[in-house]
Amino acid sequence: MLVNTRLQNGESHESVSFEEAILSPMSAHGGLWAPAHFAKLDFGSLSKDYKELSLQIIRAFGINESLVKSALARYDSFDNGQAVELKEINGLFINELWHGPTRAFKDMALQPFGAIMDELASKKGEKYLIIVATSGDTGPATLQTFKGSKNVRVICLYPDGGTSQVQRLQMLSYNSEPNLKVLGIKGNFDDAQRSLKNLLSNDDFKGFLASKDLHLSAANSVNFGRILFQIIYHIYALIKSGASKENPKNIIVPSGNFGDALGAYYARKMGAPIEKIGIASNANNVLTRLINEGIYDAKDKELIPTISPAMDILLSSNIERLLFDLFGAYRTKELMDELASSKRYELSAGELSKIQQIFYADWCSDDECKAIIKKYASMGELIDPHTATALKMAKNGDIIASTAQWVKFAPSMKIAIEGVPCDDEKETLTSLAAKFNVCLPSTILALFDGTLPPAQICEKTEIESVIKDWLK
């Protein structure tokens, strides 16, 4: 069972099933659903087969195994039929999480999540509208997983000019699907995510949807159905890397919305041999300050566009689940209310100490990121800008969550490796692939052929009316 992360004094927890939390991801007072307790895993008895390991972890949460088992078949379509690939480079373990259809780690959770959501809606005889806010990777992965669904329609909100060209083209390639709508907004990811949360709690909007026989849900990592599957790949990497109770390892995560890092934290809570979790940020380094100083401060800050755009986030949703697990629901509501009113909060010395026992953090500038990409290219390895931020923190034996394939960021790769700007993105992709003797995914190359549906761009204040017009 899952409980709400925010309580007022005198209130007691409401609890919901995993299925209920997937369909209705927001709890009271604008909070989220999170586990109240964690079963301990017998790490030595866990399977090295990814699907069987997934089922072992799902059983530990008391979730209906039959609901999830068929959804795991989605991994069969990944490269070589394997969900992830762990690669050892110079004493580091690179956990490649991007072998799915949209070439980013979001597929790891969203492929099975989409199958489960579709099945639940079908069983209940209900239709759902999912709204997703994306900083670049969640959007394509959500659109892909629900493509062709008869039970789920999707609105994808992305910041116009705030994603890579390939990420934008990926989203637009789904725009002709009758159940999918891609909408660029004049703003940044935080604006998109704020709009999403406002719509999830907007009774008038939900009333309009009810008149269309639609229920409202979300596919961002505010939905615990996403987080569940982000626990599994961290444990898998620990098993494959030879970690043990006697030999725990650090896991370093490029982090924006903190869902990937939260998966590692939950794995640690369940007894996985994780020494500490490294949080790597780009120039939008609010998480670095939180972990190093105990201050979360987005006040008067402007989002900085970087070459790692999926991490260009100032308001990180899943920190709330961490605060809840460490400090409880009353304190979490207090901190979240403070963040909502002043875009800032400060932890006590004791609270900061608890966080620092588990996490450490640093951030990586674009120049440092380019230097890391160039360094690994000299060793024959193509590393994307997000993974590069984590490599800055890496030490021998660490596990690095590699969250996206380099093909989504060709201009940044070219300028980092060759020192010259990219004039033609398709040519850059093919030349780098030839130079490093790697295959390009056909789905990425196809984005540059033919005519894609045009982008629709709107003001933040127009989002609700645009969605209503589409549904009419």
The residues carrying an active-site annotation are 106
Q: Are 249 and 160 in contact (CB under 8 A)?
A: no
Beta-carbon neighbour count of residue 38 at 10 Å? 16
Q: Are 143 and 110 in contact (CB under 8 A)?
A: no
CA-wise closest residue to 192 among 278, 312, 20: 312
Half-sphere exposure at residue 237, Cβ-oriented, CA atoms within 13 angstroms: 33
Rounded distance, CA 314 to CA 188, Å? 10
At 426, list the tokens. Answer: 């398709």
Beta-carbon neighbour count of residue 75 at 10 Å? 20
Q: Work out the angle between the directed axes of helices 165-172 and 138-146 (0-180°, nearest 10).
A: 20
Residue-wise DSSP of 402-458? E-B-GGGGHHHHHHHHHSS--S-HHHHHHHHHHHTT-PPPHHHHGGGSS-PPPP-EE
H or E element in which residue 391 lies: helix 385-391
CA-wise closest residue to 304 among 325, 320, 321, 281: 281
Rounded distance, CA 93 to CA 345, Å? 35
Length of the chain: 472
